[in-house]
Structure 1
Amino acid sequence: MKVVLVKGLVVPLVALLMAALAVLYAGVPRAQAATDVSTVATALRTGPVYVDPAASGQLSTRDADALAKKIVDAGKPVFVAVLPAGYPTQNLFADLRTATGITGLYAIRLGDRFDARADSSVLPRTAVQNLVTSVQGESAKAQLDDFTDRALANVRGHAPSTWGGSGRDSGVSSTALITVAVVLVAGATGAYALVRRNRRRHAEEQRAALDKLRVVVDEDITAFGEELDRLDFQPGEPGANDAMREDYERALNAYDQAKSAMAAAQRPEDVKAVTQALEDGRFSLALLAARREGRPLPERRPPCFFDPRHGPSVADATWTPAGGAPREVPVCAADRARLADGRDPAIREVDTEYGRRPYWDAGPAYGPWAGGYFGGGILPGLLVGTLLGSMMATPSYAADYGAGYGDFGGYAGGDVSGADFAPGDFGGGFGDGGSGDFGGGDFGGDF
Structure 2
Amino acid sequence: MNRWTGLLGAAAVVAATTLPGLAAQAATPTPTPRPTPKPSTSKPVFRYTPPDIEGDRRKAQAAAESYLNDVAAKLGQTGLWVDPDVKKLSSTETAELDRLAKAAVAPLRIAVIPAEKIDTAPASISSYTRLAWEGEEIADQLYDRVGVEGVYAVLVDARSESAGRGFHAVQRADHGPTYHVGDGVDDAVDCCAPDYEEMLTRFIERAQEVDKPLYIDVAPYAGGVAGVAALWWGGTALGARRARRKDEEKHLEVSRPVLNEEIIALSQQVSSLPTPADPQQSKLSKDVLDTVEKARHRLDEAKGDADIEAVASLLGSARYGLACLDALRAGKPIPEPTPPCFFDPRHGPSTTSTNWTPEGGRERGIQVCDACAARVAANEQPDMRMVTVRNQPQPYWTLAEELASYIDGYWSQGDGRRWYFPDEDARRAGDAMRARWRARRPGARFSRWSGDVGTSLGNWSSSSGDGGGGGWSSGTSRRRSYSSRTRSSGGGSSRRSSRRSGGSRGF
TM superposition score category, shorter chain reference: 0.3 to 0.5
Q: Which has the larger radius of gyration?
A: 2
TM-score for both structures, normalised by structure 1: 0.42
**Higher RCO (Cα < 8 Å, 6 or more apart):** 1
